[in-house]
Amino acid sequence: MHWAIPFLTVFLVAGAASAAPVPFSPEAAAELEAEEQRLEAEKHLQREPPDLVEARRWLEAAADSGSVEAMGAVGWLYEQGLGVEPDAQKALEYYTNAYEAGENEYGLRIGWMFIQGLGVEPDRATGEEWFRRVIEERDDSAGRLALASLMVSDAMTNVRPERGTQARDLLVEALEDGVTEAAFYLAQMYMEGVGNLAADAAGAVHYTRVGAEAGLPEMQAWLAMLHARGELVPLDLVEAHKWATLAASGGHQSGEQMRHEIANHLSESELIEARRRALEWISER
């Protein structure tokens, strides 16, 4: 899964605090609201070096006072053992509270902890149960993507081949919900065939193009390669150069390499046309 940026980064880029940090005490915390307690934690994190122990104390107080952001931050501290001994059970407790307060990403985090055995005994069933919970309770397509990724793995290894079509259905729904990363999985599945999902060239090209048009550099590079080879799509070096250029502009290393290689086979007028198409695509975004 794609986990959120570690909370320390989020805090530290917030800007310098206006007042000196207050040492934590139950008496000092009792005088402040949840958000004010969280801001005290932020001040301690902005020190050089960050005071993780004091920050944790303030964050725990803020979490107890109802700050969902603090719940997730304390969970991360306990999971990673930052300023405190690692404690997966406490992390799970705070993540569960954050999820129940409305933050779906923490339900997914719990799922991955069980799937990957992060501080707990690996438990595939419990991990999947959390993904399904996020899907069913919150209609969350990030959960669909997470669950589908497990199903794809099962189908690819023929552990449970029937999961090929199950994963496809979840991915299609996630894509319709705007999760463009789902196009990558769908294109790959149709290109190779996974479990009980048969290979389908038209499907592979369709989802490759969907991902490329959505701006995924990896899919743009893939579409460039298909056009450069005339594989599943018409041979078109101008179109290939366009997509390679876009992939390269998105930071894809292979895209940059393909762009230079394809350029060697294009005339000056064809290069101008390829660049025009790339600029047109960018301007229409």
Query: pLDDT tens across 117-160, in order?
Result: 999 999 999 999 999 999 999 999 999 999 999 999 999 988 89
128 and 188 together in one domain: no
51 and 124 together in one domain: yes
7 and 115 together in one domain: yes
Residue 154 maps to a domain: no
Residue 147 maps to a domain: no
Residue 236 maps to a domain: yes
Is 90 exceeded by the pLDDT of residue 16?
no
The rounded percent of the chain whose pLDDT value lies above 70 is 94
Q: d(Cα 117, Cα 16) in Å, to the nearest integer?
A: 37
Is 60 exceeded by the pLDDT of residue 4?
no
Q: Select from 83, 104, 137 the last residue of a domain.
A: 137
Is 80 exceeded by the pLDDT of residue 6?
no
| Number of domains present in the structure of the chain | 3
Residue 87 maps to a domain: yes
**What does the pLDDT average to over 213-228?**
97
44 and 19 together in one domain: yes
Residue 155 maps to a domain: no
pLDDT-wise least confident of 14-28, 64-78, 170-184:
14-28
267 and 178 together in one domain: no
Q: d(Cα 34, Cα 42) in Å, to the nearest integer?
A: 13
242 and 200 together in one domain: no
pTM, to two decimals:
0.85
The domain of 266 spans 215-285
- Banded pLDDT at 18 (limits 50, 70, 90): low
31: domain CATH number is 1.25.40.10
Q: d(Cα 108, Cα 98) in Å, to the nearest integer?
A: 11
Is 90 exceeded by the pLDDT of residue 210?
yes
Residue 108 maps to a domain: yes
204 and 258 together in one domain: no
27 and 73 together in one domain: yes
Q: 74 to each of 89, 116, 153, 211, how far by Cα in Å? A: 12, 20, 32, 36
Q: d(Cα 113, Cα 89) in Å, to the nearest integer?
A: 11
Residue 268 maps to a domain: yes
Q: d(Cα 82, Cα 79) in Å, to the nearest integer?
A: 8
Is 90 exceeded by the pLDDT of residue 24?
yes
Is 60 exceeded by the pLDDT of residue 79?
yes
**What does the pLDDT average to over 93-117?**
97
Is 70 exceeded by the pLDDT of residue 5?
no
